[in-house]
Amino acid sequence: MTVADVRAALAEVCDPEIPVLTIEDLGILRDVSVAGGQVVVTITPTYSGCPAMEEIRSDITAVLHRHGWQDVSVAMVLSPAWTTDWMTAEGRSKLEAYGIAPPRRTGPVDVVLGGLACPQCRSRDTEQLSRFSSTSCKSMWRCRSCREPFDHFKDH
């Protein structure tokens, strides 16, 4: 039983709100350690109040139990604070295919609003309707070309 085995099993744990993303895609899986039959999985929350964290915590335990690891604990760390820069390239592609515009890279300069590509028709003639949407991590947009509303995973 190795760390790689545990990580492979954890690929089954997805975000309950955005089921195309695994916790690794999302960048919240911070560490896996295996010592003497005991598995410790360390995760970090996305937003402080995100209710999905409770689900993810119990899903991790359930999946690892199913794979035969009985002694499992899930640790939560706050620091360093999660950023969407930790989302994997694969995660970004999956999000876009799912119809959610992926986060752009954050950095020393402020992200310029507008010009986000519509995940339906690729037009950049889009506008933000609200900085808040159905979950903490998303904002609400619409495309002026194809007229479809869409969510954007906020740059955070």
The residue ranges that bind another protein (CB under 8 A) are 45, 47-51, 77-82, 129-134, 136, 140, 156
Decide if 132 contacts 151 (C-beta within 8 A): no
Closest to another protein by CB, 21 or 137 = 137
Element (H, E) at 97: helix 89-98
The two structure tokens encoding residue 112: 């310029």
* Distant-in-sequence, close-in-space partners of 52: CB < 8 Å, separation ≥ 6: 15, 16, 17, 46, 135
Nearer to another protein, 70 or 130 (CB): 130
37 vs 107, beta carbon nearer another protein: 107
Q: How far is the CB of 43 from another protein (least distance, A)?
A: 14
Q: Least distance to another protein from the beta carbon of 132, Å?
A: 4
Tokens of 125: 């003639």
Q: Measured from the CB of residue 2, what is the shortest distance to another protein in angstroms?
A: 30
